Amino acid sequence: MMDFRRMWLRTLGLATVVLVSFCSNVETAISQEAQAVAEFPKGEIKGPFRWESQIFPGTVRNFWLYVPAQYDGQTPACVMVVQDGLQLARRWKLIEAWDRLIANGEIPVQIGIMIEPGVVPAPHDDAQPRFNRSFEYDGLGDQYARFLVEEILPAVGQDYSLSKRPGDRAIAGSSSGGICAFTTAWERPDQFGRVLSTIGTYVGLRGGNEYPILVRKTEPKPLRIFLQDGNQDQNIYGGNWWISNQQMLSALEFSGYEVKHVWGEGGHNSKHASQIMTAAVRWLWQGHPKPIGSAGGKKRRTDILIEGEDWERVSDGHGFTEGPAVSASGEVFFTDIPNDKIYKINVDGTVVEFVSGSEGANGLMFGPEGWLYACQTKTGKIIRYDSDAKMEVFLEEASANDIVLLPGGGYYTDPDHQRVCFFDWDGNQKVVDEGLAFPNGVVVSPDQTLLMVSDTRDRFTYSYQIQPNGDLKFRQKYGHLHRRDGDRDCGSDGMAVDRDGRTYVTTRNGLQVMDALGRVHLILRKPQPGWMSNVVFGGVDRNWLYVTCQNAVYRRKVKTQGFDSVASPFKPPRPGL
């Protein structure tokens, strides 16, 4: 038996690692696991059940259920999903751990779902099946999470009462199953709150090596995570498992997650995990049913989040929301494109209709005289409204999507013709850039010298230097955005800029916040599923982020402020290089 209280020093490449104890009762847990379990009521193993998936077309697989003796069918049971099926659960000695811990009241009553990866059967005896394990387990994205949430859990729920609270659901796996467990909870923290990962494959097989960076940059999610690995784990073409697990731990601790780890000297197998399984499962459910929180994490370079502040819904029930703009007094206006309406959010949070019959108005912005400018998609015009919603045409021919206004004129994006245009206040306009695949959001730096444009079909935002006559020079791929696995582009859309020169970009992956050098420091989650189309700083002090997301508008208070681009320019602080 390994003595986890000893400190082992090992040199691995250039890194020196220190192996420390998991907790003071690990040896006790191991000793208990070695004892006979006859005195504990034993759960029942049911299955195998065959499943043909629609989310992974053509695949078949087996799964088994663990039903504890204490399950009464009346109270919704907690759930623990285990990748690689009954075989891994037995290697882990997980069933014995469930029996013991449930009987002792140390973990809640739970149904175990032990499920194998899918296989597409071979068409004949001289062919191999298509083995889906790496595709399903190593791949990022939400496909496997949807498979569980939309297929397996409802199927099991037909015969068993299962809790739907994320804190009542755990997911576990080893190796590729370990990263699969993390990915499932990462993508759907509304469904799974607890993760058990042993010898996890957070390496470059299908993009898992990106997780430590994404964990550091992304707004923390309500997850409780247990990690296990050994310093003799694999070091092959995809990466070093031992180092990658330590990088995951470091990232999770940096971001303030509830995380526990136990490192050993083993290799890429289940031996070590089986020795600590009782203690690991005990810790995973520790504190249940208390909500999963965080320890706060370390101070970020971009420190705009306020503890306890989250997205709050301001308005919903619309067709598709877009184009938020803020008035001089802090009111936020937004469009409902399919319903041809513009709404106003007062500073007290009440919402009123401002305009009906807006002809597909999209991007909005207030001009220096206080009028609201709008890009009419149905007419190809830029129009403007006074405070009484009286409308007049400003530009007759302007196939505009989004708009930014300055003291000397403005710019609009024209994705239909792949161009960016400038206009002055006399109504003169000209094309100042062409060639972006889908130019969309457009904003200006606080000193009014740089124009930033998002390209929905690219992974970069673009920066230009504004010339005195409105021309643009020195186009550069500037903002490097993160995209989700499987996405061909980032889906970047609307943008906003704060007083420190940071740029906020709505993307498929959330609201990405870049410093003035174009580096993403922080990713805020989308407040609901669907397309997050635009963002603006609103409120009297410009310290509320408003986002338009699919059919609704949300806001969130932050520790920074926006500014009005039509006001006098000012020099932002020099960014850290």
Q: Are 523 and 484 in contact (CB under 8 A)?
A: no
CA 534-523-491 angle, to 5 degrees, is: 45
Q: Which two tokens stand for residue 433?
A: 């850039």
**Given this model, what pLDDT does residue 12 score?**
30
Q: Are 228 and 272 in contact (CB under 8 A)?
A: yes
Rounded CA-CA distance 210/194 in Å is 21
DSSP helix/strand/coil, 167: helix
Q: Are 353 and 339 in contact (CB under 8 A)?
A: no
CA 171-175-176 angle, to 5 degrees, is: 75
Rounded CA-CA distance 340/337 in Å is 5
Q: Are 526 and 511 in contact (CB under 8 A)?
A: yes
The DSSP secondary structure of 237-260, one letter per residue, reads TTEEHHHHHHHHHHHHHHTTBEEE
Q: Which backbone phi and psi does 397 adopt, to 5 degrees? A: -125, 100
DSSP helix/strand/coil, 194: strand
Residue written as tokens 């043909």?
Answer: 52
Q: Which two tokens stand for residue 290?
A: 């208390």
Q: Is the pTM above the cut of 0.85?
A: yes
Q: Which two tokens stand for residue 87?
A: 């075989």
Domain ranges of the chain: 24-284, 312-557
Q: Are 49 and 62 in contact (CB under 8 A)?
A: yes
Structure letter (DSSP) for residue 163: -
Four-point Cα dihedral 245, 251, 255, 258, nearest 10: 10
DSSP helix/strand/coil, 89: helix
Four-point Cα dihedral 555, 559, 564, 568, nearest 10: 180
Q: Which two tokens stand for residue 27?
A: 């040896």
**Given this model, what pLDDT does residue 397 score?**
94
Closest by CA to 143, choosing from 201, 174, 184, is 184
**Given this model, what pLDDT does residue 295 score?**
66
**Close Cβ partners of 38 (under 8 Å, ≥ 6 residues apart):** none
Determine the CATH number of domain 312-557.
2.120.10.30
DSSP helix/strand/coil, 209: helix
Determine the CATH number of domain 24-284.
3.40.50.1820
The DSSP secondary structure of 515-562, one letter per residue, reads -TTSBEEEEEPPSSSS-EEEEEEESTTS-EEEEEETTEEEEEE-SS-B
Cα separation of the two ends of the chain = 50
Helices (H), 132-284: 133-138, 143-147, 153-157, 176-187, 211-217, 241-254, 271-284
In b/e form, how buried is each residue of 98-134, taking b as 16+ CB within 10 angstroms?
A: bbbbbbeeebbbbbbbbbbbbbeeeeeeeeeeeebbe
Residue 356, classified by CB atoms within 10 Å of its CB into exposed (0-12), middle (13-18) or buried (19+), is exposed
Q: Are 234 and 205 in contact (CB under 8 A)?
A: no
Closest by CA to 208, choosing from 178, 174, 169, 253, is 178
Q: Per residue of the chain (577 residues), what is the pLDDT tens digit?
A: 333 333 332 333 333 333 334 444 544 444 444 444 458 899 999 999 999 999 999 999 999 999 999 999 999 999 999 999 999 999 999 999 999 999 999 999 999 999 999 999 999 999 999 999 999 999 999 999 999 999 999 999 999 999 999 999 999 999 999 999 999 999 999 999 999 999 999 999 999 999 999 999 999 999 999 999 999 999 999 999 999 999 999 999 999 999 999 999 999 999 999 999 999 999 999 999 999 987 677 888 889 999 889 999 999 999 999 999 999 999 999 999 999 999 999 999 999 999 999 999 999 999 999 999 999 999 999 999 999 999 999 999 999 999 999 999 999 999 999 999 999 999 999 999 999 999 999 999 999 999 999 999 999 999 999 999 999 999 999 999 999 888 889 999 999 999 999 999 999 999 999 999 999 999 999 999 999 999 999 999 999 999 999 999 999 999 999 999 999 999 999 988 7
What residues form DSSP beta bridges with 403? 412
Q: Are 267 and 233 in contact (CB under 8 A)?
A: yes
Rounded CA-CA distance 110/80 in Å is 7
In b/e form, how buried is each residue of 390-405, taking b as 16+ CB within 10 angstroms?
A: ebeebbeebbbbbbbb
**Given this model, what pLDDT does residue 576 score?**
83
**Given this model, what pLDDT does residue 18 score?**
35
